Amino acid sequence: MLRSFTADGEVSTGDRTVNEEQATIVRRIFEDYAAGISPRAIAGKLNDEGVDGPLGRGWGASTIYGNWRRGTGILNNELYVGRLIWNRQRFIKDPTSGKRQARLNPPKDWIIEDVSDLRILPQDLWKAVKARQEATRNVAISDGVRKLGRTKRAKHLFSGMLTCGECGGGVIQVGKHYYGCSATRNKGTCSNRVTIKRSELEERVLIGLKDQLFHPGLIAEFVKAYQEEHNRLTAQTSVNKVKTEHEFTKVISQTDRIVDAIAEGMFHESRKTKMDSLGVRKADLENDLANAKAKAPVLLHPGLADLYRDTVTDLSRALNDPATKAEATVIILSLLTEIRLIPEGDGLAIELVGELAGLFALGVAQKQTRPPEGGLFDSSGCGSRI
């Protein structure tokens, strides 16, 4: 994007020009892909040669193949054939997570501008790449089978939470039963080539979770937090009931005043509409008050600590029971934000990071870094090694 002066002396808002050095790399990527070379192999070769990727970072396979529906990735950028597309997608905020999520707009809403002066690819090369992409997609979804590395895989227990302790990148499924560093596999930029069997990883993490969850300090924190939350909810319920009763009295008063006005001959259609809305609100408030009275007071469980221990003991069983697997998975994942796989010798050490570590640290003396019967915590107290 270059700024220049227009004929009337105004500064332009920015003009696109072709960066020939980058255009040469883009043409090379398209030619290699059309020749049958995989995005992973193309990315690996570019990294080996020290060619900077977008934003100055290394190349990855996903940078090249992107998402053909959304028009992302080098191979799907229509600007390379002189088509500038706006409004292809919109963003909405997930009300639960607060994160932005992309949604595709229908093609009829796209704004397409012809910028043929920016074309850097011949049409036959673009068509050859699109033909290979289409053939690859057809193979990937044939017979309903989703091929590894091509489309979304089935989600396993700790998918998306694993990171490489060597480079900080993600850890992905390698082959059918193993996990390994994605940067090693897709970019060749990490030296961590150690893999771990998925079943071994899950077993070690679950055993580590159970061992640490049994620490007396964490059990005490659970009981304390439960009691505090119970007290907060009880107080909030009382406040809500008082507010409901106050509003109910107000609605009755407003209704009586309108009835009196009508009885005095001051009828108006707007008063009837107001009476109707007050009647609906009165019924809702009566229902809320009836429900509040029907609810029995919640009593604290006399054996919270024992209940906690039983729940932790049943973690593995709950994961193997179809009736409770979904709930157990949510609970376990809520305890962790990251699982680091750190190469040590011929194997991998596993470090747990998240709410579990934070809660567990509360039960340990501030200057103590090695909790009894537990794992090894880092200096920040936010991770435990198992």
Q: pLDDT band for 219, please (50, 70, 90 cuts).
A: low
Model confidence over 200-211: pLDDT tens digits?
988 888 877 777
CATH 3.90.1750 fits 20-144, yes or no: yes
Nearest to 385 by CA among 355, 335, 359, 348: 348
> Is residue 367's pLDDT more than 60?
no
Angle CA(10)–CA(1)–CA(54) in degrees, nearest 5?
165
Instruction: Report, as an integer, the average pLDDT of 318-331.
Output: 69
> Is residue 375's pLDDT more than 50?
no
Tell me which H or E stretch contains 318: helix 315-320
Per-residue model confidence (pLDDT) at position 346: 86
Structure tokens at 303: 């054996």
Model confidence over 173-207: pLDDT tens digits?
888 889 999 888 888 888 899 999 988 988 888 87
Q: Which of 223-227, 265-269, 308-312, 355-359 has the lowest mean pLDDT?
A: 355-359
Sheet of 383-385, strand order: 162-164, 338-344, 347-353, 383-385, 376-377
Structure tokens at 217: 């300090």
Domain ranges for the chain: 20-144, 227-294
Instruction: Report, as an integer, the average pLDDT of 95-118.
Output: 81
CA 179 to chain centre: 20
DSSP-derived secondary structure for 141-206: HGGGPPPTTTSPPPP-TTTT-EEETTT--BEEEETTTEEEEHIIIIIS-------EEHHHHHHHHH
Per-residue model confidence (pLDDT) at position 112: 86
Q: Whose structure tokens read 């396993």?
A: 156
User: Alpha-carbon distance 195 to 189, whole Å?
Assistant: 16
Express as a percent the part of the chain with pLDDT over 90: 9
Angle CA(253)–CA(255)–CA(257) in degrees, nearest 5?
70
Instruction: Report, as an integer, the average pLDDT of 288-293.
Output: 72
Contacts of 380 (CB under 8 A, 6+ apart): none
Of residues 162 and 235, more confidently modeled: 162
Q: pLDDT band for 38, please (50, 70, 90 cuts).
A: confident
Structure tokens at 115: 């910028």
Query: Cα dist. 123→4, 18, 114 in Å?
Result: 31, 17, 15
Instruction: Report, as an integer, the average pLDDT of 233-254.
Output: 79
3-state secondary structure of 229: helix
Model confidence over 48-86: pLDDT tens digits?
888 888 877 788 888 898 887 788 889 999 899 988 888
Per-residue model confidence (pLDDT) at position 376: 31
Model confidence over 7-30: pLDDT tens digits?
555 655 557 788 899 999 999 999
Q: pLDDT band for 310, please (50, 70, 90 cuts).
A: low
Instruction: Report, as an integer, the average pLDDT of 119-134.
Output: 91
Model confidence over 336-353: pLDDT tens digits?
778 889 998 888 888 877
Point out which residues pair with 339 in neighbouring strands: 162, 352
3-state secondary structure of 275: helix
Instruction: Report, as an integer, the average pLDDT of 30-42.
Output: 88
Q: What is the gyration radius of the CA atoms in the chain, in angstroms?
A: 31
pTM of the model: 0.42
CB 163, CB 338: distance < 8 Å: yes
Q: pLDDT band for 164, please (50, 70, 90 cuts).
A: very high
Per-residue model confidence (pLDDT) at position 121: 92
Instruction: Report, as an integer, the average pLDDT of 30-51.
Output: 88
Express as a percent the part of the chain with pLDDT over 70: 65
Angle CA(30)–CA(34)–CA(37) in degrees, nearest 5?
95
Q: What share of the chain is helix, strand, coil (3-state, %, to 5)?
A: 50, 15, 35
Q: Whose structure tokens read 């679950």?
A: 206
